[in-house]
Structure 1
Amino acid sequence: MSETTKEIIQRVKVLREIEEISAETLAKELGFDQAEYNQWESGEKDFSIGALVEIAARFKVDLSELVTGNTSKLKTFCLTRAAEAPEVSRRPMYGYWNLAYNFHLKKAEPFLVEASADTGQKPLSINTHPGQEFDYLLEGKLLISVGGHEMELNPGDCIYYDSNEPHGMKALGGKRARFIAVVM
């Protein structure tokens, strides 16, 4: 388990302890599978980005604060220059860069996401998280499955969906796929 993962787990536990809420109660309240939540808190499995978004919202902290331990401060606007967004490492086959990391109390979490070319050889990794999501493909080809419906996205295509539905994506054609994902 990486040091970053250990720190995220510790911050989640502290937030729970402050509000005197058990792991079981939090999992139930947010609609997470109890066994999977226990794997997240034990470090057996990484928290998904969607789960972290929901946990941050539940405790009224910014996602960037939950992930990095640093407090966001900007309230009017947050300008993120090219190649300056901090990476939020969650799963090895995907890169996530938080595009509004320093804006205080966001209503949505915008990310630049990169699915590596290697994802094409792997089965779809399906997950769910409360809320909604918007994905806009910038480059490459992306296979996306939402609620069992598979679609292929090309640059300029976008999809908006209920992220409570089982969903997953992978790059196609042996090349990486880059897209903007907004999790709400």
Structure 2
Amino acid sequence: MASLGSFGRKREPLDLDFDFFGETIRVHPMSSDLVELDFLEKAQSLDLADLDLTAELTPENMARMSQAARVAADMAMGSVRQIIHPDDWELFKATAIANGQNLQDLMEVQRGLVEAIAGFPTGPSSGSSSGAETTGPKSAADSSSPAPTAPTLSQPAIQALRQLGDRPDLQVAVLHADTAREVPASA
């Protein structure tokens, strides 16, 4: 067999930290944007039908819903844990609990850290501004560029989000699972 050569680039471990409610938390030294990609890949396997809270409450359905909720929560917490230095995980988790953080809050921390490490945003802007922007002239009204459209959610995802109104932790998993289905496998 003929070799194609050597691929990959050796990267130095990261030496980064961040403030979390007054505590200094270190970033996992080998973190990268692959944490987000790994999460999205796992989210594709989540069956939104298993989170159908309107299903008849038979023991089988309750067990299936409970298992799906556990998988979603484990998947989300696993992605957060991959970005935090192993020696700081317990401090991070205790600080999160002491400050009333929920899974959605921790997912936002994870996404923000991945964006900072990767040097580009992985999701929609937070809406905050660092000041006035300098922009060029506006394009003509008849511009050939179509306006960007927001991703559309599937009907099962919309139904699941409505049913999970008071569970932002599970809503995050539903959103990631549904939007991951829109991304082509080659992307």
TM-score by length of 2: 0.26
Structure ranking higher in helix proportion? 2
* Higher Cα Rg, which structure: 2
Structure ranking higher in strand proportion? 1
TM-score by length of 1: 0.26
